[in-house]
A and B are shown apart, each in its own frame.
Chain A
Amino acid sequence: MSASNRLHDIHPGPTRTTRWVIVGVIGALFLIPIVAMIEFTLRKGLGGGYDFSRWAAVFGGQLTGEYKPIFTGLGNSLILAVATVAVMLVLLVPTMVLVRIRFPQLQRVLEFVCLLPITIPAIVIVVGLAPVYSVIARMFGSGVWTLAFAYGVIVLPYAYRSIQTNLAAVDVVTLSEAARSLGAGWPTILLRIVVPNIRRGLLAASFISVAVVLGEYTIAALLNRVNLQTSLVIVSKADPFVSIIFALLALVFAFVLLLAIGRIGRSPRQKASS
């Protein structure tokens, strides 16, 4: 510990004061819009002053009629979140494990494909998705859950990174060979050996997928589907206040989800160092 005292002098990082000044100033600037949203929802009409009547209306279940789209949208977004996580877990995870164990030479290709949606803007994919979805509507009907196929692509880069970090840290090849030598088949290896070992990565990938799906607007809007974000935009034209309340709630929800991801990701390292 005496060494760290000496090294403190040459530490290239900021001093305590510098750090808190930078964090404080930038943090405060970034809080302004959030505070403004809260202030906006508390306004008491044109007369001035503040009250909680709008929040009371939202939580008291007094929203009917024109606010109905929000609840439809919220319900749809929750269905889509579950369906997207299912698509991601069923299609991406076995492929990643298989590539890791059996086809390591395909690792770079898989990574390239999974990160591709960053390069191809959602607005471009939508142009080509419209014809694809007219076929899907004929096959599966036009249920809102079908949008999960498109969302599975959107969440690919985030989900891939979360899982890959975890997968790389586990010696899956040796584990699978050990299981194999004890007579395990492929489903057993995947479900009982690999999945329990990478469940942190899977959980983080699922959470980030949920957050991305709840915030998605582009694809739903242009394919004329109703989700949380499109319904908020529609309702905001008539009543901006309630839309902002829901936007704030969604924001807090996403923040808690991501905070949880951080905790999930960190706990093993904490254990290892103690």
Chain B
Amino acid sequence: MADTLTPTTSARAVAPAADAAAPARSGTATLSRGARLRAGIRSLGSTGALGLVPFAAYILLFLALPTAIALFTGLVDGDGAFTWSNLAALGDPVVLNTFGNSLWISALTAVIGAVVGALFCYALIGAKPTGALRSVVDAASGVLAQFGGVMLAFAFVATIGIQGMVTVYLRDTFGVDIFADGVWLYEAPGLILPYIYFQVPLMIITFSPALESLKPQWAEATAMLGGSRLSYWRHVGLPVLAPSFAGCLLLLFANAFSSFATAAALTSQGSQIVPLQIRAALTSETVLGRENLAGALALGMIVVMTLVMALYSVLMRRAARWQR
């Protein structure tokens, strides 16, 4: 109902002032009606600048400050003096191994998630946007990608745990013991399946807008020039989608790399990935006999994440070319 509050006649009459209100042009103010309005809006603005303060203060206190503290503690010793020695911990074989685990698990699950997710997105092309299929897929993807965490750990214990449904079924029906070489579910490889389980839905969420940006005219043009469906995908579809796909792949990587809850709920011993090592460093003061290791690890994570996300934004800017 409130949608009918779109510009009424009186609003339209002053619409030119909307353009004039752009700050760049305010210098050329004349004493027209528009100018008076502009002055009015500006007086609104003088208190307006104050209006930005609460949010800015909030962001400083709860995002900037914690991040700064986290990174700072990586650079000081126990007495608060500056030191590089914590960062030397990043070269420790144990820590390197953990970063290695985090990187390969993130990369592997990102690639599998991206490919399977893209395939699913392809299957959704042409499905009615308001239809039941899209509604259910959107909601389910949202839940699994953003809500997962602890629940996923439970789900996979129930599925491929020692007494899990699939484990028992394979053992009793086919005589296949998936844990013949030891129980790997609670080790680093055990993270692969749960991670794929949240990566695919995230891919569906982030990649389907890119597929929707494929214009039907391109397919028509291809057909008009005698192209087949295959040549459409080879020469038009895939090249246009490539930057988006690579960007989403990076986002998936970042997502897995920073994920903590699933691993924390699944693995009870050891710190196979970086976030678990940060937990260990936070809860027991001395891991590897070093102070402030959590800060150093956090710094390492931020470096990786910043690289990945910077590349992501470059790719997304390139992808946006076709989404106009």
Contact = CB atoms under 8 A, between A and B. Distances in A.
A10 B11 contact: no
A119 B258 CA distance: 9
B128 to A, nearest CB: 11
A14 B125 contact: yes
B260 to A, nearest CB: 5
Interface residues of B, number: 110
Given A123-B258, A254-B143, A181 B44 contact: no
B116 A26 contact: yes
B22 to A, nearest CB: 7
A118 interface: yes
Contacts of B143: 211, 251, 254-255, 258
B310 to A, nearest CB: 9
Nearest to A211: B147
B164 A36 contact: yes
Contacts of A91: 54-55, 58
Interface stretch (B76-84, B92-100, B148-156): B148-156
B14 interface: yes
Say whether chain A's binding surface is mostly helix, strand, loop, or mixed: helix
A90 B45 CA distance: 19
A55 interface: no
A258 B18 contact: no
Contact of B147 (A221, A236, A254): A254
A269 interface: yes
A60 interface: no
Interface string A195-229: 01101000000001001101111100110000001
Interface of A: 7, 9-14, 18-19, 22-23, 26, 30, 32-37, 39-40, 87, 90-92, 94-95, 98-99, 101-106, 113, 116-132, 149-150, 152-153, 156, 158, 170-171, 173-178, 180-182, 186, 193, 196-197, 199, 208, 211-212, 214-218, 221-222, 229, 232-233, 236, 240, 243-244, 247, 250-251, 254-255, 258-259, 261-263, 266, 268-270
Given A39-B158, A119-B305, A217-B264, 11 more contacts: A36-B164, A37-B154, A37-B159, A39-B165, A92-B55, A94-B55, A116-B63, A124-B278, A128-B65, A132-B69, A178-B11
Interface of B: 2-3, 5-8, 10-12, 14-15, 17-18, 21-23, 37, 40-41, 44-45, 47-49, 51-52, 54-55, 58-59, 61-63, 65-71, 73, 116, 119-120, 122-127, 129-130, 133, 135-140, 142-144, 146-152, 154-159, 164-166, 197, 200, 214, 216, 219-220, 222-223, 229, 232-233, 237, 251, 254, 257-258, 260-261, 264-265, 275, 278-279, 282, 294-295, 298, 301-302, 305-306, 309
